Amino acid sequence: MSRRAAATARRRTAYHHGDLRAALVTAATALLDTEGPLGVTLRGAARGAGVSQAAPYRHFSDKSALLAAVAEDGFRRLRHAIARAARTHARDPVAALRAMAIAVVRFAAAHPSHYRLMSGPAVRGRDHPALRDAAVGAWALLAGAIERGQRAGRIRPGDPVALSFALWCSIHGLAVLAVDEQIPANVLKVVPLEQLAEHATRCLLEGLAPRPPSRAARRARPASRATARQ
């Protein structure tokens, strides 16, 4: 993975680290897990890699560049988790979607600080295209599953991207609420997190299911201009 390993196997010397970039990402990730988002520090990562304070600047232009690399790594892992969940239900697209949702929430619960970093203000996708791509890559799996569901007649027709977007909002919203500890105790007491994911996903998937023309659905006016402002 590292450009060093790909090269002629430079040996680490006392002076040159060998693969500092990867070591810094690892150290920063460790800090993230143990100390939380505010505990991640450029100097701390350097210490963790056994290197001086300014060394990171040979590999990252910025603190936020380091954080972006960490976040990108997180999205890679998240994508793998989602893909694995999808594979376990290759036959049933709806079950696959549910499993994917649970995988996301599980990932968030297992690595709260990491998930926070991935979707937080510390790194803006705009400034780090690779991060953006990694994020989109992870969530794009949802659209694929939606499409399979449509082909199987389990999900109503329509733009898969638009439909998966609604699902994305739900799942990400739940994950973020969990990670930010904003789920009220009276909810979490009764129902464990994964069941909440199932619940939220089911509510949405029922909305996405094909259905005979329903009076209630059509009664809803398409757009009311008299909504609240601000």
Partner DNA sequence: CAGGGAATGTTGACACAGTCAACTTCGAGC
Partner DNA sequence: GCTCGAAGTTGACTGTGTCAACATTCCCTG
Binding site for DNA (CB under 7 A): 7-8, 10-11, 13-18, 20, 41-44, 51-55, 57-59, 62-64
CA–CA gap between residue 66 and residue 112 (Å, rounded): 18
Least Å distance between CB 41 and a second copy? 14
Binding mask 101-140 for a second copy (x = CB under 8 A): -xx--xx--x--x--x--xxx--xxx-----x--xx----
> In the 8-state DSSP scheme, what is residue 57?
G
Least Å distance between CB 57 and a second copy? 19
Which among 39, 38, 43, 45 has a CA at the least distance from the CA of 22? Answer: 45
Among a second copy, DNA, none, the one that 13 touches (CB under a kind-dependent 5 to 8 A) is DNA
Least Å distance between CB 53 and a second copy? 20
Among DNA, a second copy, none, the one that 48 touches (CB under a kind-dependent 5 to 8 A) is none
Least Å distance between CB 61 and a second copy? 17
CA dihedral 174, 177, 181, 183 (to 10 degrees): -70
Q: Report how many helices (DSSP H) and strands (DSSP E) the chain contains, helices first.
A: 11, 0
By residue count, the chain amounts to 230
75 binds a second copy (CB under 8 A): no
* Residue listed under structure tokens 């994964």: 194
